[in-house]
Amino acid sequence: GAGVSQTPSNKVTEKGKYVELRCDPISGHTALYWYRQSLGQGPEFLIYFQGTGAADDSGLPNDRFFAVRPEGSVSTLKIQRTERGDSAVYLCASSLGVNSAETQYFGPGTRLLVL
Partner 1 sequence: DAKTTQPPSMDCAEGRAANLPCNHSTISGNEYVYWYRQIHSQGPQYIIHGLKNNETNEMASLIITEDRKSSTLILPHATLRDTAVYYCIVRGHYGGSQGNLIFGKGTKLSVKP
* Residue 45 within binding range of partner 1, rule CB under 8 A: yes
Measured distance CA(51)–CA(21) in Å, rounded: 18
* Residue 26 within binding range of partner 1, rule CB under 8 A: no
Encode burial over 44-83: b for 16+ CB neighbours within 10 A, e otherwise: ebbbbbeeeebeeeeebeeeebebebeeebebebebeebe
Judged by CB under 8 A, which stretch of 12-20, 22-30, 71-79, 106-114 contacts partner 1?
Answer: 106-114
User: 3-class DSSP state for residue 85?
Assistant: helix
* Residue 62 within binding range of partner 1, rule CB under 8 A: no
Among 21, 33, 73, 88, which residue interacts with partner 1 (rule: CB under 8 A)? 33
* Residue 25 within binding range of partner 1, rule CB under 8 A: no
Tell me which amino acid residue 58 is: S
Are 68 and 5 in contact, with CB atoms under 8 Å apart? no
Judged by CB under 8 A, which stretch of 18-26, 70-78, 80-88, 100-108 contacts partner 1?
Answer: 100-108
Binding residues for partner 1, rule: CB under 8 A, are 4, 33, 35, 41-45, 48, 50, 55-56, 58-59, 91, 93, 98-109
